[in-house]
Amino acid sequence: MGEQIKLLKERRSIRSYDSKPIEDEILTQILETARWCMSARNKQPWTFYVIRNKDLIQRIAKECTTGPFASGAPLLIAIVGDKELSPNWYLHDTCFVSLQLALAAWSYGIGTCWIGRINRDNVKNLLNLKESDDLLTVLPLGYPKGKIPKPIPRKSLEEIVKYID
């Protein structure tokens, strides 16, 4: 399996993080890679808020209903979409960029996990975001603590592919 395919297939959601900080150069490389994500009309309607302040990490983690594990991460990246810049596509674009960022992190051995249920209004307030800002998610980033979780089974190709010849 080629390295790129391995990256795509072997990435796992990581919910437990080592306290080891993420090196600045590596963090920059992850953000730099995310920057190259595709987006509709190349609008790039995103801003990444890198949260390293310990107190703010705890306050945000409290708002992550289905991601309390965020409290154990050395940093959080809030992915914020600009609804004004790309009203029809900001959601697609920020989803894509969140994956690109997660994959870039994984390539450096750094784990993350998408968090779905967040009290978004509260986090928007904590980050002083504008009304027109969409808080897509908060990605906790950190080196995995302990073993990488076993892969969760996927649907078979038979279940998800329909050939129309």
Task: Specify the residue, 68 or 87, whose C-beta has the smaller distance to ligand FMN.
Answer: 68
Among 34, 122, 25, 110, CA closest to 73: 110
Task: Specify the residue, 115 or 135, whose C-beta has the smaller distance to ligand FMN.
Answer: 115
Q: Smallest gap, in angstroms, from Cβ of residue 25 to ligand FMN?
A: 26
Q: Smallest gap, in angstroms, from Cβ of residue 56 to ligand FMN?
A: 20
State whether residue 64 is helix, strand or coil: coil
Residues 6+ apart with CB under 8 A from 18: 142, 143, 144, 145
Question: Which chain residues interact with ligand FMN by CB under 6 A?
Answer: 12-13, 15, 66-67, 113-117, 152
Task: Specify the residue, 45 or 144, whose C-beta has the smaller distance to ligand FMN.
Answer: 144
Compute the residue count for the chain.
Answer: 165
Q: Smallest gap, in angstroms, from Cβ of residue 152 to ligand FMN?
A: 4
Q: Smallest gap, in angstroms, from Cβ of residue 116 to ligand FMN?
A: 3
Which three-class secondary structure string do you get for 136-163?
Answer: EEEEEEECECCCCCCCCCCCCHHHHCCC
Cα(6)–Cα(3) distance, rounded to whole angstroms?
5
Task: Specify the residue, 128 or 156, whose C-beta has the smaller distance to ligand FMN.
Answer: 156
